[in-house]
Structure 1
């Protein structure tokens, strides 16, 4: 399938949020508490004439999606980038074209397409500063063979999810990375 076909297959942002069974509260919280800095609004207003669209590959259980997508949606509102959501696990043919490091089905993956359905850019799964945070958080886990691994991993996921929801610096890092990716394509 071509990207236009994938786009037409997706859910709207509202349909996606309404369907969420996990992380919906955190997703909405971040969306409600993140605003585009006023001084940056003209940057994204410049995108309006491009009539870009976004395909967002995601799953509601993903903490990175809970953090990143609400921020992207705020940018999309100002830039008038229409978005459609696809569940990664139901769309592996597309996901496998956007592997992270050519091996990982890491999400979310935001694929920006133009009016003709040609890819303009893709972004995800996370900003570099968030990647560093994840690497630091996971480095203290015991090996998978150790009996306390499952409990420690669960604690770590809870810690990460809380940080994603509450740490405003993380929102800034994601925003800056998305802003840089999008505005580098406007010139």
Structure 2
């Protein structure tokens, strides 16, 4: 993905899911995702309600993606209050062309977000992890057994992750 280019592989917008429909497809993590969605408080949402940006947000994830189950509820809660933003959630495996145009370091890593203007040109992106934890994950994923390093990621998500994610969404959706 390159800023200023049209996103290739973009499916029909109406085939994407809104939050309520997405929840129907994530039964294993449904209740936890609702709790995460509700954990974003009014003070965190307030700056987004007056964001001057407009466009679309595309979110890619999968039902069995733990990182997506953590990030998607937080991101959706935020983008829902931005006045001129529309969003859709797509499952990576159902839209391989879209995923192949949203790679992270050459990998099909999710969750992934693309922020598009009205002409479907890329304004910004996010994912698959908040910046503070991303180097830690990239150094270990695929090299070490996940059970050796992923507990630290989960601890980060519980303790600092939401604040970092909100900050990064502010950079993307307000400071752009």
How many equivalent pairs are there?
Answer: 169
- Shift in Å, 1:12: 1.5
Partner of 1:84: 88
For residues 122-160 of structure 1, give each alpha carbon's deviation from its aligned partner in whole angstroms, at most 9, with x where no partner exists: 21111111224535876994xxxxxxx5xxx35755x36
Distance 1:129 1:139 in 2: 19
Structure 1 position 7 matched with structure 2 position 13: yes
What runs of 5+ residues in structure 1 fail to find an aligned partner? 142-148
Runs of 5+ unmatched residues, structure 2 = 1-6
Does structure 1 residue 175 correspond to structure 2 residue 162? no
Match of 1:29 in 2: 35
- Aligned equivalents of 1:53 and 1:79: distance in 2? 11
Structure with bigger helix share is 1
RMSD: 3.0
Q: Deviations over 1:43-89 (max 9, x none)?
A: 54223xx4422111111211221222122112212213222111101
What SS is found at the alignment partner of 1:30?
Answer: helix
TM-score (norm 1): 0.74
Larger relative contact order, structure 1 or 2 (CA cutoff 8 Å, min sep 6): 2
If you compute each CA radius of gyration, which structure gives the higher value, 1 or 2? 1
**Aligned positions of 1:106-145 closer than 5 A:** 106-134=109-137, 141=144
